Amino acid sequence: MNRTSFLTSCFTAFAVNVSVAIAQFDVGEPDHDVWVYPHAGNPGGDPVIRLWGDGVNDINPTGYPGTLETQPYFSHGFFSWNLSNVPRNWRWNGATITLTVTPDTNYDPQRYDVYLRLLSDSFNESTWVYGVGPFPFPGNNNRIRGDDSRAANGPGSTITFRIPRNVPTNVLQSWARNRRMNFAITCTADYLVQRQIIRIASEENAIYNGPRLVLD
């Protein structure tokens, strides 16, 4: 599937003076992730994060958390990666996020899509409260469509997001300044009627790999 990009502006690099280019830097799993759903029993400690929308929208069209009567039928994941170990002279050239699908996923990639959205701020999973704190940026231009072609292949299959080099300068500066990357993962799958759902491993999952961030 084609990927949409963050179109607001363009950023270039964590640092502009780099003498030696490093091929990749594996940041690893997020140190904070939560299942964003009003009825989640243990949002920061659940080994599985569930993703679904309303069949058309990946986030509530009235905003986050939203006021629609169907508001509980939007379920996301929030993720925060610590960049403290990334060399300060690292030159930004894009990145890849990989999610691992867990059992009981029921998802049709021909009908639905999964997206990566910027979060407005970082968070701590131990103190996070639904509806309070960071929100995913709305709008179709503020999301990246993931490669979900393997999502229906069973447990252990993957979904990948390619974050391009040309993303907003202010976003890059925020990542470099705060040493954090914060994202929401959203999905259009219709769970209420069609029971379509993606289940992905969180960082707490002891069987499947949690979300992984690799910088190019």
Per-residue exposure over 151-177, b if at least 16 CB sit within 10 Å of its own CB, e if not: beeeeebbbebbbebebbeebbebbbe
Q: How many residues does the chain have?
A: 216
* Spatial distance between the Cα atoms of 177 and 184, rounded to a whole number of angstroms: 20
**What type of residue sits at position 131?**
G
The model carries a pTM of 0.88
Is the distance from CB of 94 to CB of 162 less than 8 angstroms? Answer: yes
Residue-wise pLDDT tens digits, 64-102: 887 666 566 799 999 999 999 999 888 999 999 999 999
* Spatial distance between the Cα atoms of 157 and 74, rounded to a whole number of angstroms: 23
With bands split at pLDDT 50, 70 and 90, how would you rate the model's confidence at 132?
confident
- What is the maximal distance between C-alpha atoms in the chain? 55
Q: State the residue for tokens 């103190």.
A: 127
Residue-wise pLDDT tens digits, 23-65: 899 999 999 999 999 888 899 999 999 999 999 999 998 888 8
